[in-house]
Amino acid sequence: MRWWDGAQWTDHQQAVATEPLPPPKIRASGCLVAFLVVLGITVVGIAAFIGVGASTGGAVSEQQDEGFKVVYHAGGSATGGSITMSTPNGIQQHDVSLPLKSTSGETGVHFTVGNGEFLSIMIQNQADTGTVTCEIVVDGATVAQNTTSAAYGIASCDYGIPY
């Protein structure tokens, strides 16, 4: 076949068709190895988790039955504060007179918790003068204490009961 290129007639040659390349061979061995590695890590992790739980079961349950006696104290020279505390009933927030007293008239808030509990109490001074102090006592020992004298300052105490 011929065609006109604008200056002369040129013979057109049809390109020779080549065979398409064969698709690449899929090697499943790489995926299989990756799968086996992930599976092995998962099995080891589960075994370690179960082993740790079984090895600590005896000592923890004895203390958990008894519980830890916790007392939150809040006081200072300020007359009142806004208190936020974590208790077994959840997070509670109240405006209180200082020193903090329970509904029964005892100084502080008393409750019992088990292993692994996180304890937290914060008190904010409601005035621009005075101090506020927080304290956490567990089984008769002070485990956290903080004081601030800043205007409208916040004293924060927290402690994690061990497992």
Whether 99 shows a pLDDT value over 80: the answer reads: yes
What is the per-residue pLDDT for 19?
A: 74
122 and 151, same domain (yes or no): yes
Respond yes or no on whether the N-terminal peptide bond of residue 99 is cis (omega within 30° of 0). yes
The mean pLDDT value for 105-121 works out to 93
Task: Show the tokens assigned to 130.
Answer: 């005075």
- Cα dihedral 146→118→91→140 (10° resolution): -60
Whether 101 shows a pLDDT value over 80: the answer reads: yes
- Residue 2 forms part of a structural domain: no
121 and 154, same domain (yes or no): yes
The mean pLDDT value for 57-62 works out to 38
Nearest CA among 86, 153, 91, 107 for reference residue 126: 153
What is the per-residue pLDDT for 14?
A: 63
**Domain region containing 51:** 26-66
